[in-house]
Structure 1
């Protein structure tokens, strides 16, 4: 697959807390970091997203007495999964994994999300209320991007919702499947089904790297 001047690579949340040993570790998360760097080398336009939560984030189970991580509650904007505390602003867990430094250094911008304690954010485009933008869409349009490729963590949450919002924002959207890792098989399968329904394409990294 040929990479065009109007393409961008979106590297989703390559952070310590989502890698092995982190507070919300995705199995094999650290292993994809070298591949993210190789992909970033091929793109002129690279944008990285970063989960950036306050300690009182509504999605943290610790802020709901008696609630357990990986259960759901009803909040003002709908159903919300509760998570272990992760990616707290300024913490080592919120830092980018050291092995992805070349991709981060190449980034045109870092889009921080989930900063509002009252609203979680999976997508790099919108918070979970589906109304509050992060500014990513405007940035990509300013850069004259028409197609985005996504990779990173986690395939079944932040990669998925960023990809779906990219389609809604009018971008051709491609997920680099083997440059992403999922939290759970059931949600991975749901993401893949959603991609097919919404027009998100999936490719292997080799099709871009040759």
Structure 2
């Protein structure tokens, strides 16, 4: 069965010192590097926002990060400005080792809607192209790791399952925002309940 590794949003702004740092986010880079040789197919998602993106609190006078609004017809948490197109913060992590030729799927480019998932915007109106790339490569199983467990990883995993892919979450290759103490645990429970298989990098390396 043809499988692919999908690296989700391993970008500077989500790492320690970044504009929207995920706690211990840098620790997943080593897992990503370790696992790449065990997969023939690699895909990378990249948050890629215009400066006027509607998810930025700075673009809503009187609003602060963490406030909630409606954006594009769906509930939206407002975030600090992050991963602005062509900015250092939007760049992939310097320690991330990638082949010269890799498929990078950029998301969040429409200022009127956010896109947590690697497959669709949050209203599921526009596709990012990841599904088409996976299908063109004959991929049936996707293995996911990256940032953040309780947002972009979870949304990507749930969409992957709904699209018919056998979906695996590499738990030690993910870290979460965990704004509330149970957010990551709740996300993993939600993914598991929808058919996502929770695995560990050691199971992949041992089987290869």
In the alignment, structure 1 residue 60 sits paired with structure 2 residue 56? yes
Compute the RMSD of aligned alpha carbons. 1.1
Shift of 1:130: 1.2
| One of 68, 71, 74 as aligned partner of 2:67 | 71
| One of 64, 89, 92 as aligned partner of 2:88 | 92
2:17 is aligned to 21
TM-score, normalised by the number of residues in structure 1:
0.94
**Conserved? CA contact 1:46–1:106, under 8 Å:** no
| One of 148, 152, 159 as aligned partner of 2:153 | 159
Structure 1: stretches of 5+ with no match in the other structure? none
| One of 48, 56, 66 as aligned partner of 2:44 | 48
The 5-angstrom pairing of residues 38-187 of structure 1 reads 38-100=34-96, 102=97, 104-105=98-99, 108-184=102-178, 185-187=181-183
TM-score, normalised by the number of residues in structure 2:
0.95
**Conserved? CA contact 1:54–1:117, under 8 Å:** yes
In the alignment, structure 1 residue 201 sits paired with structure 2 residue 184? no
**Conserved? CA contact 2:71–2:112, under 8 Å:** no
Aligned length: 204
**Conserved? CA contact 1:18–1:153, under 8 Å:** yes
Structure 2: stretches of 5+ with no match in the other structure? none
CA distance in 2 between partners of 1:157 and 1:25 (Å): 13
